[in-house]
Amino acid sequence: MSRFDKHPKLTREQAGHIRHFHNLASLPDGEWPHIGSQEPGQEWDTAYRYQIATMAYAAGAAHYHPLPLMRGIFKELMLKQINKMLRRESGVRVDPDLKELRKPWADPVCKENIMYSGHLLLMISLYTMLFADNRFDKQDSIVFNWNPLFWGRGPERFSYTRLSLQQTIIKGMERENWLGVCCEPNLVFIVCNQFPLIAIRYNDATDKSHTLPTILLKYQAAWAQKNGFVGTNGLFKAFVMRRHDQAVDADDISHTAWAIAFMPWNQDFVKSLYASTGSGFLQRCGDRINLNPQALANKIRELVKTENAESAAEETLHKARTLVQGQPMMNRPYMSPTFGYVAQWMSEVGDKGDLEALLRHADRFLRPRWESGGLFYARCDVNWNEDGDFTGGEAYTGNARIGYARLNVRDGQKMMWDEPWEKEEVEGRPWVDGFGLESGVDCLRGTWDGERRDVGLRVNKLPEGMWGVCIDGELTRVVEAMEQEFLVLDIEVSGEVVDVVVIKV
């Protein structure tokens, strides 16, 4: 057994996802290949903002869990992702109950729109926590430029910092009696408000403050008055209509799975819902797990409730298919990125075998593609084949969510919630510098895999003393590290994986 085996090592697929994130983030501004959403106005669940944010969360998870020493790689990647998030291509908010148009505003975070501002705050707070970099605390560090060419009231500029953005969101929660901030006007979604809660937790760790506990108590109390998060059908409530003071039940697994994947403050509760949440929607087919259409899934759940049927039984599936024959498979204009939501949910609170079975289905039916060293899953608008196998693919799942699920670890968000990195820890930890993803080299476990070349690596902040450099299990040199110095390693890499480790001797 190699001494390296106890250290986590990325698979080819995991490295491919990170490479794909880099490929997309490195494109010139305004170019969005493979990332186009189904709805042209960025109003649907597959909008740019969700894809960019999820790729950033995946990069953050990969850095925190398997690759904490590879600061240089992930810092540059996440900065590029944040810069993409600050572009004007953001969502449109519509209120169907309005009798007349409201006076418009161009600032995308000043009120409502938590599905953008909450993700942006988490991206920035996660970056600050992981890299102890305070650049987003400076004046004009977060700037929104509203400058359409042929309409509007002329160029407008809105400036925030990390904490002023957080305070804006907190004020929005207070306006809605702590149920959360609205996404669209009048609608407060459970899922969209989980991301700013995580961000506030990270900012408390960064700033040694205690902002979250009071907010979380008020948030829980507000939802307790609505009889909690779970609706009458066992799924999370979709949203609350504020003016009507009415909670609306969800009719499919999508937002329930998404919310649970990012609810680390309530982990024991959401884990207890795992089996019941997937009932009807997920079907084990040999060594893989298939996603059933919404109408079929709800009919299976109905049979379980009314006839005490077994949700996983073949006879239940066949009976439900007969009963829903001729009905539309979904009741929305576009397919939600449900498969990706489920993958993220399984990666956080599910059984490892279930996630592997779901990813097996993805690799067989969702068209994996490799491009410039990056892995993604191609779009397909045929959501189920004649045999009932899920085949649909949209950009959100293909670019971001499957990659996140592969890179996350079980309880990954919970670990980051419980033990966010503090500034002193980050600044005192050894780290590798001197190359990035732009070099064409992928990092697996302190290994670099690419075309044959010499790569100069720099290990910073090694404690004073004698250190040995091992390559492929053999001690090749011993060097002395002095305070405030760094160790430079010249490593030749090729198509073969090279194991490099620096150990105290």
State residue 333's pLDDT score. 76
Pair type for strands 142-146 and 486-493 = unpaired
Can you tell me the distance from the alpha carbon of 481 to that of 359, in angstroms, rounded to the nearest whole number? 44
Average pLDDT, integer, range 352-364: 97
Nearest to 299 by CA among 284, 322, 268, 320: 320
Choose between 150 and 275: higher pLDDT. 275
Radius of gyration of the chain (CA): 24
State residue 96's pLDDT score. 42
Instruction: For residue 178, count CB atoms less than 10 angstroms from its CB and return exposed for 0-12, middle for 13-18, buried for 19 or more.
Output: buried
Residue 235 CB contacts under 8 Å (≥ 6 apart), including other chains: 249, 250, 251, 252, 253, 256, 277
Q: Distance of alpha carbon 173 from its chain centroid, rounded? A: 22
**Which of 22-36, 265-279, 379-393, 457-471 shows the lowest mean pLDDT across its residues?**
457-471
Choose between 108 and 66: higher pLDDT. 66
Instruction: For residue 353, count CB atoms less than 10 angstroms from its CB and return exposed for 0-12, middle for 13-18, buried for 19 or more.
Output: exposed
Average pLDDT, integer, range 492-504: 74
Q: What is the b/e burial string over 185-204, where b = at least 16 CB atoms within 10 angstroms of the residue's CB?
A: bbbbbbbbbbbbbbbbbbbb
State residue 90's pLDDT score. 52
Which spans in 387-466 are helix H? Answer: 395-396, 402-407, 412-418, 423-428
CB atoms within 10 A of CB 119: 22
- Whether residue 396 contacts residue 54, with contact meaning beta carbons closer than 8 Å, is answered with yes
Q: Distance of alpha carbon 6 from its chain centroid, rounded? A: 26
Residue 73 CB contacts under 8 Å (≥ 6 apart), including other chains: 63, 67, 435, 436, 437, 443
Q: What percent of the chain has pLDDT over 90?
A: 65
Domains within the chain, CATH numbers bracketed: 12-293+329-424 (1.50.10.20), 427-504 (no CATH)
Whether the predicted pLDDT of 29 surpasses 50: yes
Q: How far is CA 501 from CA 465, 477, 482, in A?
A: 16, 11, 18
State residue 141's pLDDT score. 94
- Whether residue 269 contacts residue 259, with contact meaning beta carbons closer than 8 Å, is answered with no
Most confident of 320-334, 417-431, 452-466: 417-431
State residue 91's pLDDT score. 41
Can you tell me the distance from the alpha carbon of 462 to that of 398, in angstroms, rounded to the nearest whole number? 39
Can you tell me the distance from the alpha carbon of 345 to that of 367, in angstroms, rounded to the nearest whole number? 21
Whether the predicted pLDDT of 455 surpasses 60: no
pTM above 0.85, yes or no: yes
**pLDDT averaged over the chain?**
88
State residue 494's pLDDT score. 64
Whether the predicted pLDDT of 288 surpasses 90: yes
State residue 102's pLDDT score. 47
Each residue of 392-416: pLDDT tens digit?
999 999 999 999 999 999 999 999 9
Please tell me whether residue 284 adopts helix, strand or coil conformation.
strand
CB atoms within 10 A of CB 306: 8
Average pLDDT, integer, range 121-141: 97
Whether the predicted pLDDT of 429 surpasses 60: yes
Each residue of 477-494: pLDDT tens digit?
888 877 556 677 777 766
